[in-house]
Amino acid sequence: MKDRTDIREEILRLREKRGAIILAHNYQPPEVQDIADLTGDSLELSRAAAVMEGEVIVFCGVDFMAETAAILSPEKTVLLPAEDACCPMAQMITAEELMLVKSRYPDAGVVCYVNTTAEVKAESDICCTSSNAIRVVNSVDQDQIIFVPDKNLARYAKRFTKKEILPWEGFCIVHDRITPEMVREARDAHPGAVLLVHPECRPEVIDLADHVASTSGIVRHVCSSEEHEFIIGTEVGILHRLARECKDKRCYPLSPEALCRNMKKTDLVKVRDALATLQPRITVPEEIASRARGAIERMLALP
Ligand code: 13P
Ligand code: SF4
């Protein structure tokens, strides 16, 4: 049986041979983050997928992320090592459901969170991520916006716009479980620590936070802050990057149970096998990709 060092070496050799880049989301297991060319949030990874050199992209994350890469770089081979890694929130709205809402509000603009299927993106005017949702909402011409699928991100963006937001009632099954009670317990355990939360958290949790940011936004904030202790209100995978990059800071999870099972389905063996076999490959039919690309590229074009 091969040990991790052997598998890591195999991955590096295959990466070279395939002309591949390995992208990992901030929630990926430590061993996967450590082998990646770039570990980041959804926006950083989308940008990288659009511009980075390489014939093959190994996307260590969940399905909508690999789909977004395949839409932006149809000429590249996009691999999702954990074939069944999905985002339950992205399954909470279908293109048909979105079309029905659009028919009820024909004058509204449509903003879709990147955590959606390619079909839903194809029915949207512009995409957003957790790090640019406010900017995207305010960039839309219409005063009324259908925002799908995350009700919590929609309500967070609503705090920073005069536009009318019509949220779809989807949510992240990991962040929506974080409660104000957990905040009180964490604050009692770590008095004086700064509380950072992800905008997928419920409004009543956001009300109690000191700062709200995307996953990489949280890392940037902790690393650049003059404070020393932080309570981190997002999926626990981010603690690895925080420990690696913000060595002089102490970070405590707001909820140690905030764990996205789908994000943990990738491991080194699956990354190696994906590079060896060029499978599982993610492709998006061009008639859907061409419309979805418009929504993603409009987001990427924003300053
Ligand atoms: P970020 O874009 O902030 O990394 O968030 C992605 C995600 O799925 C959060 O649950
Ligand atoms: Fe989806 Fe939530 Fe997992 Fe992010 S943490 S991938 S939103 S289920």
Mean pLDDT of 234-256: 97
Rounded CA Rg of the chain: 19
| Start-to-end C-alpha separation, the chain | 50
Longest dimension (CA), the chain: 61
Separation of CA 16 and ligand 2 centre (Å): 31
CA-CA distance, 299 to 126, in Å (whole number)?
A: 6
Separation of CA 117 and ligand 2 centre (Å): 13
From the CA of 42, give the closest atom in ligand 1: 2
Strands in 77-79's sheet, in edge-to-edge order, are 38-40, 20-25, 56-60, 77-79
Residue 169 reports pLDDT greater than 80: yes
Write down the pLDDT at residue 126: 98
Mean pLDDT of 172-177: 98
CA-CA distance, 60 to 267, in Å (whole number)?
A: 9
pLDDT band at 1 (very low <50, low <70, confident <90, very high): low
Residue 265 reports pLDDT greater than 80: yes
CA-CA distance, 147 to 142, in Å (whole number)?
A: 12
**Residue of 200, 219, 236, 254 to mutate, ligand 1, most atoms within 8 A of C-beta:** 200
Mean pLDDT of 150-160: 98
Of the ligands numbered here, which is closest to the C-alpha atom of 89? 2
Mean pLDDT of 181-193: 98
Write down the pLDDT at residue 9: 97
Mean pLDDT of 92-96: 98
Write down the pLDDT at residue 36: 98
From the list 88, 40, 34, 80, the residue with the least C-alpha distance to 61 is 80
List, chain by chain if needed, residues with CB within 6 Å of any ligand 1 atom.
26, 41-42, 115, 129-130, 172, 200, 214-215
Write down the pLDDT at residue 151: 98
pLDDT band at 228 (very low <50, low <70, confident <90, very high): very high
Would you tell me how many other CB atoms lie within 10 Å of the CB of residue 72?
A: 22
Of all protein residues, the one whose alpha carbon is nearest to atom 5 of ligand 2 is 260
235 lines ligand 2 (CB under 6 A): yes
Q: For the chain, what's the residue count?
A: 303
From the CA of 90, give the closest atom in ligand 2: 1
Close Cβ partners of 127 (under 8 Å, ≥ 6 residues apart): 111, 112, 113, 114, 116, 121, 136, 295, 296, 298, 299
Write down the pLDDT at residue 211: 98
Measured in whole angstroms, the distance separating CA 292 from the mean position of its chain's CA atoms is: 17
Write down the pLDDT at residue 4: 83
Q: What angle do CA 257, 261, 262 make, to 5 degrees?
A: 145
pLDDT band at 279 (very low <50, low <70, confident <90, very high): very high
Residue 199 reports pLDDT greater than 80: yes
Please give the share of the chain, as a percent, with pLDDT higher than 70: 100
Residue 241 reports pLDDT greater than 80: yes
Residue 3 reports pLDDT greater than 90: no
CA-CA distance, 123 to 136, in Å (whole number)?
A: 16
Q: What would the DSSP string read from start to end of the chain?
A: ---HHHHHHHHHHHHHHHTEEEEEETTS-HHHHHH-SEEE-HHHHHHHHHH---SEEEEES-HHHHHHHHHH-TTSEEE-SSTT---GGGGG--HHHHHHHHHHSTT-EEEEESSS-HHHHHT-SEEE-TTTHHHHHHH-SSSEEEEESBHHHHHHHHTT-SSEEEE-SB--TTGGG--HHHHHHHHHHSTTPEEEE-TTS-HHHHTT-SEE--HHHHHHHHHH-S--EEEEES-TTHHHHHHHH-TT-EEEES-TT---GGGGS--HHHHHHHHHHT-SB----HHHHHHHHHHHHHHHH--
Residue 40 reports pLDDT greater than 90: yes
**What's the pTM?**
0.96
Residue 42 reports pLDDT greater than 90: yes
Which domains are delineated in the chain? 4-86+263-284 (3.40.50.10800), 90-172 (3.40.50.10800), 175-253 (3.40.50.10800)
Mean pLDDT of the chain: 97
From the CA of 27, give the closest atom in ligand 2: 5
Mean pLDDT of 150-161: 98
CA-CA distance, 82 to 272, in Å (whole number)?
A: 11
Write down the pLDDT at residue 2: 73
Taking a C-beta distance cutoff of 8 angstroms, is the pair 210, 233 a contact? no
